[in-house]
Amino acid sequence: MNGTPRHPERTVLRLARPYLNRLVGAGLLAAGTEFAGLALMATATWLLMSAAGRPPLDRLTVAIVAVRALAISRGVLRYTERLAGHDAVLRLITDVRARVFATLAARPAPRQRAGDALSRLVSDVEAVQDLLLRVLVPAAAAVLVSAVAVGGAALVSPAAAGALAVGLLVAGVALPALATALTRRAGAELAPLRGALATDAVDLTHGAADLAAFGATGYALHAARERAGRLARLERRLAATGFAVDAAGVLLSGLTAGAVVLTALAAGVDGVLVGVLAVGTLAAVEIALALVGAARQWTGLRTGLARVAALLAETPAAPAGGGAGVEPGPHAVRFEEVTVRYRDGAAPALDGFSLDLPPGRRVAVVGPSGAGKSTLAAVLTGTVRPQGGRVTLDGRELSAYRGEELPRAVGGLLAEAYVFHASVRENLLLGRPGAGDDELAAATAAAGLLDWVRAQPAGWETVVGEEGGQLSGGQRQRLALARALLAAPGVLVLDEPTEGLDPAAADAVLRSTLAATPAGHSVLLISHRLLGLTELDEILVLDAGRITQRGRHADLVEAPGWYRDQWLLQEAAERGYLALAP
Ligand SMILES: Nc1ncnc2c1ncn2[C@@H]1O[C@H](COP(=O)(O)OP(=O)(O)OP(=O)(O)O)[C@@H](O)[C@H]1O
């Protein structure tokens, strides 16, 4: 696991480099907007106070025109700033999303909940957008305008400018630092609580039927309500702290204006200009107070930014040799002393596993639940990377193949295959885009689903529902199997291909599946069911990640051990089942 970069902002800024001109432009426009606002207040004050003395109108003309020009330009500048800022940031975000997806796609299968991963992906990438648009651009504008305001005030009275500078420093540095310090801890507690609440919502809706069946709805609701209550209390506390800091900001702007007025009066500044300084100070402090908001945003964004930066830092290295290209057809696979451990300190799921799978060989892996069979399939398809040993395809390590290369050589039916909310045809074409009806029919026949497809009024266009919900478990399994057969990778991995089928159907489907696999293609079959394995070249019995027995069915069934015991049990059970079957 890569370490989290210590300054995620730097990673973001590095990515933003190609758009730097646009971002600087947006920053300048934002500063222009704020400056126009400040100048508008100051000019309007001068105009009002001067007009009170009834001077000749021509002395006021420039100021009148300036007020109009500033009022209009403020709106125009704000609009162009938003346009320029969003244009730059949305371009950057497109890059960031593409990189994040590429990294995730090249990564082993996620170990976290899919919903959580997805929502994080969306909100974390948005953190990059917010960092630029809500933190950096307004902060840069506030700093620039504060400097201009102090410079302007210094032209009138250096002493008043000093008082203004102090006020602006407190508003733009001390208050933001205070706001960050006060909210950091609560903010850190908030994120996991929000995550837990999202998970509760998913569990309570998706698991409603099971919760009701076990009479656990009340308990689950109570736990979720408690977490929601804790979140609400935390948010109330954060809001109260936020209001206190905001109130301090208002107080500060009054105090700064008072100090500026007193120093200006003491320095003998003309009354009208004192008024201009007072109103200008209120406007300038308000602009500097934007930094409090920026700091608050920044605190909230840091966790998401760190996660995105960690993902981006993980950008997959191009495989050595640039990927030699994978031809369809036979391939040789070799496992050498492969060890997989899902967690440090946990027992290994695979423990020094070795196997030769030359082209055309058909091997079954059997063993008790938790023995490591699915882990083996995941290692072979590249979704789990072993911590020890190596797995090679045609002599090259699996990790040396590009993400899109490996599936051309190794693939098949993995545990919990996903069926898309689409037609039977579309689900099948995923296995081999462009396959004709004959090919679809051959694969579907081997999986034992062709009769069902033919019986449907819509045939290949039958829509299977969300996650294949309009199919029976067995039909879903057969559809996924047909898709794997259509893909016809050189190394076909079949994780429980006949799960959910009755014994007679399971035998038939396994036989036709093996028959439909082209000569020279190897097969790694994972199965709980030991019947029907007579045709396989070798059967491995796996237990706690190690091979405990190996051989052909005829030999294993003669030797005392797990295989024989299990085979006898299953055979007796199925004989009973078949005797009862009509
Ligand atoms: N994603 C995971 N995270 C942590 N541990 C895992 C994960 N997947 C599997 N394991 C652990 O690894 C071991 C092997 O699991 P695996 O799924 O490979 O066994 P299996 O033989 O396929 O079991 P089954 O026949 O029940 O499907 C088990 O102890 C399991 O708890």
Four-residue CA torsion sign, 74, 76, 79, 83: negative
Radius of gyration for the alpha carbons in the chain, expressed in angstroms and rounded: 35
**For 356-373, what is each residue's pLDDT tens digit?**
999 999 999 999 988 899
* Percentage of the chain exceeding pLDDT 90: 40
Q: How far is CA 409 from the centre of its chain?
A: 28
Pocket probe for ligand 1: among 112, 373, 376, the residue whose CB has the most ligand atoms within 8 Å is 373
Higher-confidence residue of 107 and 456: namely 456
The CATH architecture of the domain made up of 8-313 is Up-down Bundle (1.20)
Every domain of the chain with CATH number 3.40.50.300 lies at: 333-413+488-580
Q: For residue 378, give the ligand 1 atom closest to its CA.
A: 18
Residues in contact with ligand 1 by the CB-under-6-Å rule are 111, 342, 349, 367, 369-375
CA pair distance 251, 529, nearest whole angstrom: 77
Ligand 1 centre to CA of 374 (Å) is: 7
CA pair distance 483, 430, nearest whole angstrom: 7
Question: Residue of the nearest CA to atom 2 in ligand 1?
Answer: 342
Ligand 1 centre to CA of 497 (Å) is: 18
β-pairing, 522-526 vs 362-366, is parallel
173 C-beta neighbours (distance < 10 Å), count: 14
The CATH architecture of the domain made up of 333-413+488-580 is 3-Layer(aba) Sandwich (3.40)
Pocket probe for ligand 1: among 342, 381, 543, 547, the residue whose CB has the most ligand atoms within 8 Å is 342
CA pair distance 161, 264, nearest whole angstrom: 9
**For 27-61, what is each residue's pLDDT tens digit?**
999 999 999 999 999 999 999 999 888 888 888 88
Ligand 1 centre to CA of 380 (Å) is: 15
Ligand 1 centre to CA of 117 (Å) is: 21
Mean pLDDT of the chain: 86
**How wide is the angle at C-alpha 41 spanned by C-alphas 53 and 79, nearest 5°?**
145
Ligand 1 centre to CA of 107 (Å) is: 19
Largest CA distance in the chain: 118
Half-sphere exposure of 313 (CA within 13 A, CB side): 18
> 582 pLDDT exceeds 60?
no
Phi, psi torsion values for 35, nearest 5 degrees = -65, -40
| Stretch among 112-121, 344-353, 556-565 having the lowest mean pLDDT | 112-121
Question: Residue of the nearest CA to atom 11 in ligand 1?
Answer: 349
CA pair distance 472, 264, nearest whole angstrom: 84
> 323 pLDDT exceeds 50?
no
Question: Residue of the nearest CA to atom 5 in ligand 1?
Answer: 342
Question: Residue of the nearest CA to atom 13 in ligand 1?
Answer: 349
Q: For residue 340, give the ligand 1 atom closest to its CA.
A: 12
> 121 pLDDT exceeds 60?
yes
pTM: 0.61
Residue 361: partners with Cβ closer than 8 Å, 6 or more residues away:
522, 523, 537, 538
- The mean per-residue pLDDT over the stretch 78-82 comes to 94
Q: For residue 372, give the ligand 1 atom closest to its CA.
A: 18
CA pair distance 112, 541, nearest whole angstrom: 30
SS3 state at 5: coil
Lookup: tokens for 69: 């020009």
Pocket probe for ligand 1: among 374, 525, 546, 547, the residue whose CB has the most ligand atoms within 8 Å is 374
SS3 state at 54: coil
CA-nearest of 188, 195, 196 to 238 is 188
Q: For residue 377, give the ligand 1 atom closest to its CA.
A: 18
> 66 pLDDT exceeds 90?
yes
Structural contact between residues 290 and 179, judged by C-beta atoms closer than 8 angstroms: no
Question: Residue of the nearest CA to atom 7 in ligand 1?
Answer: 342
Q: For residue 542, give the ligand 1 atom closest to its CA.
A: 21
Question: Residue of the nearest CA to atom 16 in ligand 1?
Answer: 372
Amino acid at position 496, single letter:
E
Residue 231: partners with Cβ closer than 8 Å, 6 or more residues away:
190, 193, 194, 197
CA pair distance 489, 408, nearest whole angstrom: 6
CA pair distance 263, 507, nearest whole angstrom: 96
Amino acid 102: pLDDT: 74
Structural contact between residues 23 and 85, judged by C-beta atoms closer than 8 angstroms: yes
Question: Residue of the nearest CA to atom 18 in ligand 1?
Answer: 372
Every domain of the chain with CATH number 1.20.1560.10 lies at: 8-313
